[in-house]
Copies of this chain bind each other. A is one copy, B any other.
Amino acid sequence: MQSKLVGVLGGVGPMATVYFEQMVLELTEASCDQEHLNMLVYNHAAIPDRTAFLLGESKRSPLFDMAQDAQMLARAGCDFLVLPCNTAHFFHEHIQNAVSIPLLNIIEETVKVCAARGARRIGVLATAGTVVTDTYGLVSRRFGLESVYPDAATQKQVMAVIYDRIKAGKPVRAKEMAALYARMREDDCDAIVLGCTELSVAHRDLELQAAHPDVVDSLETLARRTIEYAGKKLRAG
């Protein structure tokens, strides 16, 4: 079977896009180049900041760029699209409406993984843009789950990690990430969602996966779903 060409609506942010591609490659069962997926990736860094728009701090909407990018990728021959950014999923329906090929939904896929693990109360670590639009809450309720967000002080720390460190190319310490996870556990969360792909980058760089099995990484979840949807095999283990 010919595998499907995946179009990646990227650049939101640029490093998370590259990590997404790397995860897809690492999670694919392949012993040579040709067994990997074909991906057409628009790492469009110039797209206006999503959270600044959603918080009303900027009038520049990222929607039109993303809808145009989706159309360009569809015209170029992509069979389906993915958008490795949680915050931008506030616009999911609008981008989906701009094209006739499917756009996978990172929020839905992540909530489904939490549900399959038997979670009931999800602690969502995400940008202020995702929090204010309650993107996870809307989807969680459809699956009978509850989504909660950090208190204001913790949310400020989450934003500092995302914007002042990862997006600025500066290091994050494992202790800082672990403190965020601990805070959500204190709030009785039985699953912690990395609901911002920049946090996925830090989690992975610091190799925190084994020590925090209750953490569900939205970027990894989307990578796995992308491989399956493209018709390729997931690497065992």
Closest Cβ–Cβ distance, residue A97 to chain B (whole Å): 22
In the assembled complex, A187 has its CB within 8 A of some CB on chain B: no
In the assembled complex, A46 has its CB within 8 A of some CB on chain B: yes
Contact B15 A34 (CB under 8 A): no
User: In the bound complex, what is the Cα–Cα distance between A32 and B28 (angstroms)?
Assistant: 31
In the assembled complex, A53 has its CB within 8 A of some CB on chain B: no
Q: How many positions in chain A have a CB within 8 Å of any CB in the partner chain?
A: 40
User: In the bound complex, what is the Cα–Cα distance between A11 and B32 (angstroms)?
Assistant: 11
User: In the bound complex, what is the Cα–Cα distance between A148 and B25 (angstroms)?
Assistant: 33
Q: Which of B33, B38, B44, B49 contacts A38 (CB 8 A)?
A: B44
| B interface footprint on A20-55 (CB within 8 Å = 1, 0 otherwise) | 011001100011111111111111111111000000
Give the residues in chain B near A31, CB-CB below 8 Å. Answer: 168-169
User: In the bound complex, what is the Cα–Cα distance between A119 and B32 (angstroms)?
Assistant: 35
- Copies of this chain, tallied across the complex: 2
Contact B14 A25 (CB under 8 A): yes
Contact A25 B18 (CB under 8 A): yes
Contact A36 B32 (CB under 8 A): no
| B interface footprint on A62-78 (CB within 8 Å = 1, 0 otherwise) | 00000000001000110
User: In the bound complex, what is the Cα–Cα distance between A147 and B194 (angstroms)?
Assistant: 49
Give the residues in chain B near A45, CB-CB below 8 Å. Answer: 33-39
User: In the bound complex, what is the Cα–Cα distance between A37 and B14 (angstroms)?
Assistant: 9
User: In the bound complex, what is the Cα–Cα distance between A10 and B49 (angstroms)?
Assistant: 27
User: In the bound complex, what is the Cα–Cα distance between A18 and B22 (angstroms)?
Assistant: 6
Contact B11 A15 (CB under 8 A): no
In the assembled complex, A84 has its CB within 8 A of some CB on chain B: no
Can you list 8 residue pairs at the A/B interface with Cβ under 8 Å?
A: A11-B33, A11-B36, A18-B18, A30-B169, A32-B168, A38-B46, A40-B41, A72-B77
Of all A-B residue pairs in the complex, the 9 with the closest CB atoms, nearest first, are A36-B45, A41-B41, A39-B43, A13-B33, A14-B36, A18-B21, A18-B22, A31-B168, A40-B42
Using A17-B21, A40-B40 as known contacts, list a sample of 15 further A-B pairs with CB atoms less than 8 Å apart, ordered by residue number in A.
A11-B33, A12-B33, A14-B25, A18-B22, A18-B25, A21-B21, A21-B43, A30-B169, A31-B168, A32-B49, A34-B49, A36-B45, A38-B44, A41-B41, A76-B76
